[in-house]
Amino acid sequence: MIEIQQLSKKYKGAENFSVSNLDLSIVEGEIFGLLGPNGAGKTTLISMLCSLIKPTSGHFSINDLNYKEHKNQLKKLIGIVPQEYALYDSLTAYENLMYFGAMYGLKGSILKEKITNALTRLGLGDFAHKKIDTFSGGMKRRVNLIASILHEPKVLFLDEPTVGVDVQSKNVIIQHLQELNKKGTTIVYTSHHLNEAEHFCTNVAIIDHGKIMIEGKPKDLIENQPKANNLEDVFIALTGKGLRDHA
């Protein structure tokens, strides 16, 4: 589904590569977790896969479509849930979704029905016509997610979709993502919540300094790491306990 070959990114003025000669293969139908400390290169990798930033070198393709030649086709194929709330504060949830749905070419009763269903499923049916600036963080995250899935993407990229939300909202989001995955959507997601990733992902890759440190099923990674009881132990063993502050 997603084939990444020797993909690298070095930002202008940076000393090191954010992503360095990265090879990765993500199979269709997976829930793939990209895990790593701050500045490991997770967001850079996702941004490249979503055509938001230009790779310095290397290639990738999604559903056999090369990113250089099929930019517009790829955009229809993917959905992205960005880290920040990418919504218009002064518009209602419904108005935001009508707009972003229209940007995917959806219209009329089909779009309205999709919006109503999604809002209801994610517990926002009663807030459809309320402005986003009145929403809590968890509610915004849910609308943020709906705006990315209205067009039923084949691949959904999520950059820390549950950061800063309460447990209830997190559960609703995870549950919904699992439903989407069952319907055939491949999910690529980054998170700092290792416990969440351990239970949610079918496959994970731990990334650090722009390189894949290890990749596999969470259960296998835990089993293969001496003294590891969970994914967090594996993560610490591979990336260390030192702080990763960077500016």
Contacts to other proteins by CB under 8 A = 48, 50-55, 67, 71-72, 75-76, 78-80, 82, 84-91, 95, 98-100, 102-105, 107, 131, 147-148
Q: How far is the CB of 204 from other proteins (least distance, A)?
A: 24
- Closer to other proteins by Cβ: residue 72 or 229: 72
Give the residues across from 31 on adjacent strands.
187
- Closer to other proteins by Cβ: residue 157 or 200: 157
- Closer to other proteins by Cβ: residue 41 or 55: 55
SS3 96: helix
Q: How far is the CB of 54 from other proteins (least distance, A)?
A: 5
Q: How far is the CB of 40 from other proteins (least distance, A)?
A: 20
Q: Apex CA 13: angle with CA 10 and CA 19, to 5°?
A: 15
- Closer to other proteins by Cβ: residue 1 or 236: 1
Identity of residue 176: H
Q: How far is the CB of 117 from other proteins (least distance, A)?
A: 20
- Closer to other proteins by Cβ: residue 148 or 191: 148
DSSP 108-143: HHHHHHHHHHHHHHTT-GGGTTSBGGGS-HHHHHHH
Burial of 118 (0-12, 13-18, 19+ CB in 10 A): buried
- Closer to other proteins by Cβ: residue 27 or 102: 102
| φ and ψ of 205, to 5 deg | -130, 130
Q: How far is the CB of 51 from other proteins (least distance, A)?
A: 4
Rounded Cα distance, 84 and 104, in Å = 20
Rounded Cα distance, 202 and 212, in Å = 17
Q: How far is the CB of 234 from other proteins (least distance, A)?
A: 31
Give the residue ranges of DSSP H helices in 2-149.
Answer: 42-49, 71-77, 93-103, 108-121, 137-149
